[in-house]
Chain A
């Protein structure tokens, strides 16, 4: 049990719609990152937030955006959904950036299906 909670667990959207995924932690981890995991693939880094600011981004377009709140919870927003956005979206938290071991605590993910 990692103490990281994601919602919703499953959702279905249609192309062009917008979606918001949420993540929270019971443990006060102050750094949150989001990953996209397509079927049969490893997780791909979307972006990371620290102190409510984005401080790293993977190869994802601007229609993927996020927020981190003062209580360290986070949202991932995806606009103008495309079929290829269908995936498991994983939230991962850790405490501070450096020095630390980089160990991430993952939620169980939100599975998004775009029709």
Chain B
């Protein structure tokens, strides 16, 4: 079985300061990992994905994440927050099991960006 823990339910930063959203995972299989963003009343949009290639993954809108197997972490970062980054962020672990790909979502981190 796999699980995802997003360590912070809410994160508040000032515009122009760094963003760190933390995600730990557990999996019995080699996982793929994703970060999705959800703006209010919208569906989920893929930010970035890790699929066993480079451990430092760059995504859209200046976000990146580093896969650390030893720490079972996949934290999302951005050097400088913009007001438009305010949204809900979900970390997702994906494994192939019994011929089916199973995805597990974290509970989400709400990012607030203060002017």
Contact = CB atoms under 8 A, between A and B. Distances in A.
Contacts, number: 68
A103 B108 contact: no
Interface residues of B, number: 24
B101 A100 contact: yes
A42 B103 contact: no
A98 interface: yes
B100 A56 contact: yes
Contacts of A109: 42-43
B26 interface: no
Given A106-B44, A108-B43, A101 B32 contact: yes
Given A41-B108, A42-B90, A43-B90, A102 B43 contact: no
A98 B99 contact: yes
Interface of B: 32, 34, 36, 41-46, 49, 51, 90, 94, 96, 99-108
Interface of A: 2, 4, 6, 33, 35, 40-45, 48, 55-56, 90, 92, 94, 97-109, 111
